[in-house]
Structure 1
Amino acid sequence: MSRFTDKVVIVTGAGSGIGAATARRFAAEGARVTLVGRDRAKLEKVAASLPQGQYLVHPADVSNWDEVQGLVAQTVQHFGRLDVLVNNAGVAPTGSLTDTPMEDWHQVMAIDVNGVFYGCRAAMPYLIASQGSVINLSSVSGLGGDWGMSFYNAAKGAVSNFTRSLALEYGRQGVRVNAVCPALTWSDLTADMKNDDALMAKFKERIPMGRAAEPEEVADVIAFLASHDARFVNGVNLPVDGGLHASNGQPPQA
């Protein structure tokens, strides 16, 4: 497929995991991609797997408004347009309300919430011009609560509802805004969980497909939402969770 030939895509958090897989998926379908992240070495490694001339490496901190404005402006200057923004950068602190450091709250809000807000605000004029779309990375943790993840739940809940609001605000101007809500997905952030047999047994019990997602499986859904195939899909927070949300919460009984 070549659904994104001549289209331009920004992917934040593109140095690993879902972001790297998303950059590769868009490039494989003909898009020119700006790879954004704080670690240039990681971005360059991902860029090396993309076709020459189809990428721009732009290190930036999405929690910094000036840097986000700069990366959007440089993308448009370099490629001439912007069609898709994928707000993927994020952190996921864990711990109880009273024991988790205050700095973790400020960090998750700065990256997971402000980063999405800054990206949408900076990109929107260009997306209106191209009749483009935004795909935000929320989470199943933005659709319901978790034990010991209240900071992350608050941040991703904000992303989910911000997505709905922007879909209303910009739908009539031709810009679609959607979000994907993955369950456990293998990445640098979750790699240490693979060897925790007891924890993985609990996940396998709750997820009907019995496993975590691969980054490419989330990237495929992101590409769909950005494509013409999803041209009437707007304001959706789409679970990519192996059936987790099909359950009413009761444990398996057979």
Structure 2
Amino acid sequence: MRLNNKVIIVTGSTTGIGKAIAERAVAEGAKVVVHGLEPDWAVDLLGELGEENAVSLIGDLADEATAARLVDLAVSRFGRLDAVVNNAAIVASSNLESTDTVFLEKLLRVNTIAPFLLIKAALPYLGEARGCVLNIGSVNAWSGEPNLLAYSISKGGLMTMTRNLGDALFRDHGVKVNQINPGWVLTETEIQRKKEHGLSDNWYEDLPAMYAPAKRILLPREIAAAAVFWLSDESGPVSGQVMELEQYPMIGRNAPKDSSTIH
């Protein structure tokens, strides 16, 4: 087992990519702190993972106290902390005209500042374990789509933080910090979001080649498979790196004006 006996916090793990990472981590021998905003989903996931392998915390990452609560729960339940996966994020459409200060600050608080706070709270334990941080970003960090301005800004900030701390924390504490930038992923929330944009119930079965040369988009379990490498000892001393997971080598987006196509 590649993550045997490691204790890992995964934010935003009651659904989507975070859930897939939590499931894969437990399958690889880890103990996991599940986090989200949906109590019922957390209960269902704990039932799947087993209470001996996972514990959950429901809390808003916009609340600064949530980071410390997650760390305290991991250590009190499992006795240590080896890794943090900063996966939780708000995905919301906006452009220059529709983005005001309140909206931008809301996305930054959850998508960029919350990961910073969790890393800071976890650092004493991660340093003791010579552990790691894995940030889940987005290919939109490089420039972003026209209608994902605030989201792209927040993910750009996260990527810079990964590069910066990947050097500083590894040098001073032996803690690695890396990042995965997924492209378009078929999560439960993405399916619903596109339906709300007016697409059909099975919109993901007929996608333009520009966005899906493989005739489909990425699955959460495929992101989770990559996450295991970064969370395991297999990644060695590599730190401060960003892995792009998309179907084609495209930095940024030149999306059409139809917002239903954004991801």
**Structure 1 residue 143, shift from structure 2 partner:** 2.1
| Aligned pairs, number | 247
Q: Greater shift after overlay, 132-141 or 183-192?
A: 183-192
User: Is it true that 1:242 corresponds to 2:244 in the alignment?
Assistant: no
Give the aligned residue type for 1:213.
Answer: L
Distance 1:38 1:210 in 2: 33
Aligned to 2:238: 233
Distance 1:8 1:226 in 2: 10
Aligned to 2:42: 43
Contact in 2 for aligned 1:186/1:213 (Cα 8 Å): yes
**Structure 1 residue 132, shift from structure 2 partner:** 0.4
Q: Greater shift after overlay, 228-237 or 193-202?
A: 193-202
TM-score (norm 2): 0.87
**Structure 1 residue 5, shift from structure 2 partner:** 1.4
Q: Where do residues 201-212 of structure 1 align in structure 2 (5 Å cutoff)? A: 201-202=207-208, 204-212=209-217
Q: Greater shift after overlay, 212-221 or 42-51?
A: 42-51
Task: After superposition, give the CA deviation of every residue in 1:93-148 in whole Å (9 maximum; x if it has no partner).
Answer: 11221124544322211110111111111111110000000000110011232111
TM-score (norm 1): 0.90
Change (3 A) 1:123 1:198: closer
Change (3 A) 1:79 1:198: closer
Aligned to 1:143: 142
Residue 221 of structure 2 is aligned with which of 207, 216, 231?
A: 216
Identity of aligned residues (%): 28
Contact in 2 for aligned 1:90/1:112 (Cα 8 Å): yes
Task: After superposition, give the CA deviation of every residue in 1:49-106 in whole Å (9 maximum; x if it has no partner).
Answer: 1134000111121221212111211211111000010000001111221124544322
Contact in 2 for aligned 1:62/1:119 (Cα 8 Å): no
Distance 2:51 2:68 in 1: 25
SS at structure 2 position matched to 1:49: helix
Contact in 1 for aligned 2:9/2:85 (Cα 8 Å): yes
Aligned to 1:252: none
Change (3 A) 1:27 1:199: closer
Unaligned runs of at least 5 residues, structure 2: 255-263
Task: After superposition, give the CA deviation of every residue in 1:176-210 in whole Å (9 maximum; x if it has no partner).
Answer: 100100011011331033745599634x3244434
Contact in 2 for aligned 1:113/1:159 (Cα 8 Å): yes
Change (3 A) 1:52 1:247: closer
Q: Where do residues 69-84 of structure 1 align in structure 2 (5 Å cutoff)? A: 69-84=68-83
User: Is it true that 1:97 corresponds to 2:102 in the alignment?
Assistant: no
SS at structure 2 position matched to 1:86: strand
Distance 2:82 2:46 in 1: 20
